[in-house]
Structure 1
Amino acid sequence: MSQSNVLVLVGSLRAGSVNRQLAETAVSAAPEGAALTIFEGLADVPFYNEDLDVEGASIPAVDALRAAAGNADAFLLVTPEYNGTIPAVLKNAIDWISRPYGAGAVSGKPVAVISASPSGNGAKWANDDTVKAVGIAGGNVLSDSALAVASTFDKFGTSHARENAEVVAQVSKVVADLVDATKTLVNA
């Protein structure tokens, strides 16, 4: 089989966020035959508006997101929790890649969700809401591969997430499951 391409969307725009670190950890945990790419342009994607999403329209940030999503075999969504739910930037990305409904770039492709928070619940509510949104958008969510990382201040302190062996092992398992799911779809 050819290489599996996984697009990573991070719901935090802050460069030093723990969720960004988890995404970077996932990229470094990619097994042989897989490439994970963090999409860097979410801050530039306008809020979804059906008046903008018309045939022939070109919005460079949206075009880049949709092209990256179209080339992906799978998606890894990494989310913090803002006010008990999914951040707007991640929900917006899901909205753009879900269109046209039923034929969007996420439709039928494997998706895994990782969330993290300093709270004891590990952004579980955001994780659940992300699973719900991307599932309704047509993604094939790997519910057995969801990961919620709790108590990040205690777990990481000032260290990068990749320095925590337990978390690296958990993230590596999610990535491996996601890559395996792309192989299963190709062989189906």
Structure 2
Amino acid sequence: MSDFVLLGVSGSLRAQATNRKLLREAARVFGPCSYVEADLRLPLYDGDAEASDGIPSEVQFLADQIAAADAVILSTPEYNKGPSGVLKNALDWVSRTDGSPWMGKPVAVMSSAAGRAGGEQAQAVLRGFMVPFQPRLVSGPQVHLAGAASQFDDNGQLISTQYTATLTRLMQILRDDATG
């Protein structure tokens, strides 16, 4: 199953963001797959710009990545009790493309944050954002990585066996959903 395409979407743009690390760990424990990480460096959504210029090429590329993936994993930080603006902007843009790329797509949602709740509220809001797109959201187990900066070793792997076990279970359910 090495031709299985798993798309990771991080709500953080920082190269060493814990949400990116969490996505890479998720791909590692997912098992054999081609892992691709989306680039959310998109222009801010602007209806006037869309009307005059159409869908930006980088937005269409993201929509095409979603459509081509066998499954998608989303990881969000928590900013002011919600997901990042970067992630919301990407969702808004993709919603404007043709073809409903999220429709029926197996999707797992997770979060990584500095606080002790691990982005639980942001993850709940993100799940609500996904409802109009009608993906097949995996309901759990939920991964809320708390105190995220200290949760990874020098190789980017999770230190906690409990988090690793929960993440592994979530990825197994996602794989089963996507292949089953």
TM-score, length basis structure 1: 0.82
Distance in 1 separating the partners of 2:131 and 2:155: 30
What is the number of equivalent residue pairs in this alignment? 179
Residue 25 of structure 1 is matched in structure 2 by 25
Amino acid at match of 2:147: S
**1:46 and 2:43 equivalent?**
yes
Residue 81 of structure 1 is matched in structure 2 by 78
Distance in 2 separating the partners of 1:178 and 1:104: 20
2:169 to 169, 173, 176: 173
Residue 36 of structure 2 is matched in structure 1 by 37
Secondary structure of 2:140 counterpart: helix
Can you list the C-alpha shifts for 1:63-103, whole angstroms capped at 9, x where unaligned?
211111110122100111011101011112222333458x4
Q: How has the CA–CA distance of structure 1 residues 100 and 155 changed in structure 2, closer, same or farther, with 3 Å as cutoff? A: closer
Amino acid at match of 1:69: I
Q: RMSD of the alignment, in Å? A: 2.5
Q: CA deviation at 1:25?
A: 1.1
In structure 2, stretches of 5+ residues that fail to align are none
**1:71 and 2:68 equivalent?**
yes
Secondary structure of 1:144 counterpart: coil
TM-score, length basis structure 2: 0.85
Contact 1:69 1:97 in 2 (8 A): no
Amino acid at match of 1:88: G
In structure 1, stretches of 5+ residues that fail to align are none
Secondary structure of 2:31 counterpart: coil
1:137-156 alignment, distance < 5 Å: 137-156=133-152
Contact 1:4 1:182 in 2 (8 A): no
Q: How has the CA–CA distance of structure 1 residues 159 and 84 changed in structure 2, closer, same or farther, with 3 Å as cutoff? A: farther
Q: CA deviation at 1:138?
A: 1.8
Secondary structure of 2:116 counterpart: coil
Q: How has the CA–CA distance of structure 1 residues 133 and 56 changed in structure 2, closer, same or farther, with 3 Å as cutoff? A: same
Q: CA deviation at 1:60?
A: 2.0
Q: How has the CA–CA distance of structure 1 residues 19 and 2 changed in structure 2, closer, same or farther, with 3 Å as cutoff? A: closer
Distance in 2 separating the partners of 1:63 and 1:100: 7
Residue 7 of structure 1 is matched in structure 2 by 7
Contact 2:55 2:97 in 1 (8 A): no
Secondary structure of 1:42 counterpart: coil
Please say which of residues 23-32 and 130-139 is displaced more in the overlay.
23-32
Secondary structure of 1:20 counterpart: helix
